Amino acid sequence: MSRYQWPPVRKSKDRVRERAKYNTLTNGKLSAGSAPSPAATRSLPISVMSAPPVGPAGDANLWVPIGPSAVISGMAGSRPRISGRVRDIAVSPNGNRAYAATANGGVWYTSDAGITWSPLGNWIPTPTTPLPDRAAEALACGCLLVTFDADPNANGSGDDVYVGTGEFMPDVPEVNTGKPGSKIGGIGILHLNRPLPAALADPFGNHWKREAKNLAGVGIFRLARDPGNANTLVAATSIGLFTRSGPFVEDADWTQVVVAPFNFNEASGKRITDVAWLSAPARLWVALSGSSGTGIYTSTAGLAGPFQPITPLTNIVQNSRLGIAVAPSDNTIVYVLGKGPGLWRISGVAATEIVGLPIHLFGEPDQSAYDLAIAVDPTNSNVVVVGGASLFSNSPSLPPEQRGLPINLTQSPILPS
């Protein structure tokens, strides 16, 4: 969160003293008088306790994340301690260094394989113009695009880091006006404009510059780079497919791609939920979601198209989110995960449905638009890992697909030959 103003009481009251005591034990000594009394808390009017419809526009009331820490009484059934949702992670080839983009807490960095994490700067104030039509915040992150230093033993001084701000599908203002914990839009795309060591040495400095200001208030699912031109980037967003050609220019707008079937406007309700750009073979993969035309499209000529739909995506659900994962060991193999749950394996341009996924992979009610993750084993294109939001009973009376037990996708009939 960037503004410390709590929403109106819903399920339970904010336990100020208990929270302060917990923070004292985990984050250092609490300064005298910093925890208001219960009487003072009760006297706060609802208008003061509510979050504003947009993020702060300057340094006033802008709070900086200092974690990682834990929050007690999380949303899950057993009320566990939680650390907040992580939207994307980029890991160096040797596995020691990583960047993590969080939903409301900015970007974090580790150099010791996740043992310790540091916040990557104070970020930039949320701009006041152009005024977003929904809550927007620089600390709300949707995705990362990181090109790691070529030297595996380097300290990251050569890393090139972009952040797509904004969660996937931001809450509309009539429903949720930027309350803490809600899905918040971003302010565009940020680029780390200082070498990593300098940014880490100055945790309260502003180390980011923005472009794609026309994407303020929307969500960004994924960023990808043209493998043939490092200055050409593409963004999968909640309002369409956008691109930048040429080097970074602060506050420059990105251009919407209007090649069919991406020639739609925000009012259509369509969105681009994932994108992947490969060099060998040369292919651009795009996931489109809408009331019609939901599916995977590919082009061998980049953004110029034409884009060919992948068929058959058997049992695909219209207007649902799709996630793409390319096999690192064989770029001709692509997997797609979606609502249903549905999982498809694409070889070349032909798709085969994989059956046998846990039937409640995304929970009840279905949360596939929110909790969806997929990755392929880096050395075996036949091993795929999928993630959702479920917790199942281990009762032996239930079949494996209902218990959420591991399924070997290399065995028939899970993966048809």
Model confidence over 189-217: pLDDT tens digits? 999 999 999 999 988 888 999 999 999 88
Q: Alpha helix locations (H) across 101-192?
A: none
SS3 state at 409: coil
Q: What residue ranges in 140-232 does DSSP mark as E strands?
A: 141-147, 160-166, 185-192, 208-211, 220-225
Q: How far apart are CA 253 and CA 32, in angstroms?
A: 47
pLDDT for 205: 83
Cα dihedral across residues 242, 245, 251, 253: positive or negative: negative
Backbone angles phi, psi at 272, to 5 degrees: -105, 115
SS3 state at 20: helix
Q: How far apart are CA 253 and CA 134, in angstroms?
A: 19
Question: How many CB atoms lie under 10 A from the CB of residue 371?
Answer: 16
Q: Region 94-98: what's the mean pLDDT?
A: 91
pLDDT for 371: 87
Determine which of 43-47, 94-98, 170-174, 354-358 has the lowest per-residue pLDDT on average. Answer: 43-47
Residue-wise over 374-383: b if at least 16 C-beta within 10 A, else e?
A: bbbeeeebbe
* Sheet containing strand 86-91, strands side by side: 86-91, 98-102, 107-110, 118-119
- Segment of 11-15, 315-319, 368-372, 395-399 carrying the highest mean pLDDT: 315-319
Taking the model in full, what pTM does it have? 0.79
Model confidence over 268-321: pLDDT tens digits? 999 999 999 999 889 999 999 999 999 999 999 999 999 999 999 999 999 999
Mean pLDDT of the chain: 79
The residues near 4 (Cβ < 8 Å, ≥ 6 apart) are 61, 63
Backbone angles phi, psi at 370, to 5 degrees: -120, -45
Model confidence over 128-139: pLDDT tens digits? 665 556 677 888
Confidence of residue 63 (pLDDT cuts 50, 70, 90): low
Residue percentage of the chain with pLDDT more than 70: 68
Asked if 405 and 390 count as a contact pair (C-beta separation under 8 A), the reply is no
pLDDT surpasses 90 at 92? yes
pLDDT surpasses 80 at 9? no
The two three-digit tokens of residue 334, written as one number: 């692509």
Confidence of residue 242 (pLDDT cuts 50, 70, 90): very high
Asked if 245 and 231 count as a contact pair (C-beta separation under 8 A), the reply is yes
Confidence of residue 40 (pLDDT cuts 50, 70, 90): very low
DSSP 181-201: TS--EEEEEEEE-S-HHHHHH
What are residue 325's DSSP bridge partners? 335
pLDDT surpasses 80 at 174? no
pLDDT for 282: 93
Confidence of residue 119 (pLDDT cuts 50, 70, 90): confident
Asked if 315 and 359 count as a contact pair (C-beta separation under 8 A), the reply is no
pLDDT for 151: 83
Q: Which helix (H) or strand (E) holds 234?
A: strand 233-237
pLDDT for 188: 93
